């Protein structure tokens, strides 16, 4: 689906940068063309600075979003989530980062969840990076407890898992 969306912006690479930024951060676009996170408005100048574009590019991107029904639906309903990866160690939680050999293979999350469950560990969060937004997408799993080494050894036996990092 993202290839279709990004194709609409292939002649406007600066707008594509803004579109990706809005989506990655889970920002919405309201009917007035304002970028929001919930009910908090985010200044177009700040978004432009983050994306490395002129503020007018943000304005034209929000206009393009509002004029396209698919994009309008996406950016009215997208939301951000609190990603626990960086705070998990402080909370006593485990972090497993899985690098697949190819993110299109099916069953990687299912196999990782099975292995974790077989060790009697609960999963608090699982976040998979989208291959359209990241060159090397990873799966991050937050667990209720620290992860034992033998669990990692077991994951590395899976044919589609290239690497596992724990912290």
Digit-coded pLDDT (tens) for 67-122 = 999 999 999 999 999 999 999 999 999 999 999 998 888 999 999 999 999 999 99
Predicted confidence (pLDDT) at residue 154 exceeds the cutoff of 90: yes
Give CA–CA dist 39/20, Å, rounded.
Answer: 21
Which residue in the block uniquely carries the two structure tokens 């609960």?
A: 122
Long-range contacts of 10-13 (CB under 8 A, 24+ apart): 12/60, 12/64
Domains of the chain: 2-77 (no CATH), 89-166 (3.30.70.260)
pTM of the model: 0.81
Predicted confidence (pLDDT) at residue 3 exceeds the cutoff of 80: no
């Amino acid at each position: 689906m993202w290839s279709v969306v990004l194709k609409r912006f292939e002649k406007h690479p600066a707008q594509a940068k803004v579109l990706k930024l809005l989506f990655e951060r889970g920002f919405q676009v309201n009917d007035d063309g304002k970028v929001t996170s919930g009910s908090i408005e985010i200044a177009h100048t700040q978004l432009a600075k983050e994306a490395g574009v002129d503020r007018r590019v943000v304005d034209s991107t929000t206009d393009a979003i509002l004029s396209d029904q698919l994009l309008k639906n996406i950016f009215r309903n997208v939301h951000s989530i609190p990603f626990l990866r960086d705070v998990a160690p402080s909370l006593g939680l485990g972090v497993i980062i899985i690098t697949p050999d190819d993110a299109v293979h099916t069953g990687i999350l299912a196999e990782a969840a099975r292995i974790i469950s077989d060790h009697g560990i609960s999963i608090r969060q699982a976040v998979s990076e989208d291959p359209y937004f990241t060159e090397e997408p990873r799966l991050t799993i937050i667990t209720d407890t620290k992860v034992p080494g033998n669990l990692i050894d077991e994951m590395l036996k899976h044919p589609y898992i290239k690497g596992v990092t724990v912290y």
